[in-house]
A and B are shown apart, each in its own frame.
Chain A
């Protein structure tokens, strides 16, 4: 074995490459990531544009406001993608094949997550491009776009690592898909459609306030409609980082239980 061959970086790169190939060879996995958020963006913008008339609504363009929702949906798809791919590796025994090589355990997880992140970066770029064509403005400018992608990637990683945790723990792609509605409900029960201050029902406002997803949405949204909002960004980056750290640690642990080798 050549000395450089066993490095973690090479293993991660190989597995990330595999993850990308897998994703792009399953149109059923790529198309929803791109189209579904854009479709919902169009529907919401058409249907909820009147909301901008509400006193206190932070933007006079609903599509600017709704961009954050698209990015959050993209993150949810990252979760499904990372989770089902790893679950399939458990189901098929591919994990055992990998375990028999000198591959470091972390490489599988990091490679898979890196592949999913790359897809989510691409999807994010498409959302933004389509948004810009549709007249979206980013109030924080080019710097804001850079921060937007950094935040979207971190949020994507947080959800993807949760997906990986679920996929490796249950070892079943169906289990991962079973969790999707739960996370989708979390997204709907957040401030994704309306600013928290403008939610009329008390219970909804309370749930949205306690729901960490609200702060992820608000962090992204601040870059589009509010301007540089240190508190919103700190909360979004902080929550995403904590979830990502917990998710990666949990997924690594689940992987350790799956791959017991002497």
Chain B
């Protein structure tokens, strides 16, 4: 099998549900073999619905896609044989141990009997779960569950890996461990990774290319650096020593660009000439007699990209009450 087969090609993918607006509204994208593609968007944007379609669990209303060279509509079994999938809520059986999960998964994936135990142990060790292998999954932490989920997705050596919000709800250290493992899979094993996330940082750190989805449509696509460079201009945030001078400060700053969002005690400007203007800003503030308590330069972030393309802020803080907006199977069954 050549590595050319590992890509993802999506053309005009659409999914309607009986209730609610069109979940996925004509998505075109392509992911190169061995690439990590970050599918970034807020809750309910259509990320999970797209993943369900690409993994053959949900038929598209229109459009098509080829995953690892196979048509998702007509060659479902071949697609599934080539992909590994970790879906949004790590669907594990709390009553079974990690090792029992591996045993079931290796058997169902058709790993030859004599290789099953070794393959399971190898992946458990790789994910740092060797010591917890014989404990019931009900007692695992969130990070351990996600790592087991990833191990299960890898038993049949998939060439394309789909990860639906793999780090949602994880603490920062568990998150970076998982990032390290995903990066290693792509860099060392040449696995193509399609990853959805609502975390800007995750897309920024991990993805070679990012697609930003909002209300079922792809609104921006490219390498994180390229996308940020398109926004181009950094934002300067200044905190005056005297809070009463905040108005005067804002007026001065606006000579150098357009006002940007800032905390109540500060003023900010998106610098129209970029970093070159910094010295001039300081001189101008000095000339006006405005003393500066704090001074920060913000490089453009993917959030700025999102804001520029959609006019909205991508809230990446997690709301514990938030329900995943895309429960495709439920909608289908109703």
Contacts and interface: CB of A to CB of B under 8 A. Distances in A.
Whether chain B is bound by chain A comes out as yes
A2 B56 contact: no
A25 to B, nearest CB: 5
A231 interface: no
A262 B89 contact: no
A97 B91 contact: yes
B105 A101 contact: yes
Given A26-B95, A93-B89, A93-B91, A21 B58 contact: no
A199 interface: no
Contacts of B75: 262
A14 B113 CA distance: 12
A182 interface: no
A11 B329 contact: no
Contacts of B107: 5, 10-11, 14
A14 B85 CA distance: 21
A10 B106 CA distance: 12
A133 interface: no
Interface in A1-49: 1-2, 5-6, 10-11, 14-15, 18, 21-22, 25-26
A11 B95 contact: no
Most buried by B among A5, A11, A95: A5
B57 A100 contact: yes
Interface residues of A, number: 32
B73 interface: yes
Most buried by A among B74, B95, B136: B95
A5 B56 contact: no
Contacts of A92: 89, 91-93
Interface string B67-100: 0000011111101110101011101110110001
Interface string A198-238: 00000000000000000000000000000000000000000
Interface in A240-262: 257-258, 260-262
A262 B95 contact: no
A99 interface: yes
A125 interface: no
A262 B93 contact: no
B332 interface: yes
A56 interface: no
B104 A261 contact: no
A102 interface: yes
Interface string B84-128: 010111011101100010011101111111000000000000000
Interface of A: 1-2, 5-6, 10-11, 14-15, 18, 21-22, 25-26, 90, 92-103, 171, 257-258, 260-262
Interface of B: 55-59, 72-77, 79-81, 83, 85, 87-89, 91-93, 95-96, 100, 103-105, 107-113, 136, 152, 156, 329-330, 332-333
Given A101-B105, A101-B109, A262-B76, 8 more contacts: A14-B103, A14-B108, A18-B96, A21-B96, A22-B93, A102-B81, A102-B110, A258-B333
20 contacts: A1-B156, A2-B113, A5-B110, A5-B111, A6-B110, A14-B104, A15-B104, A18-B93, A22-B96, A26-B95, A92-B91, A93-B88, A96-B87, A97-B105, A100-B57, A101-B109, A171-B330, A261-B76, A262-B73, A262-B79
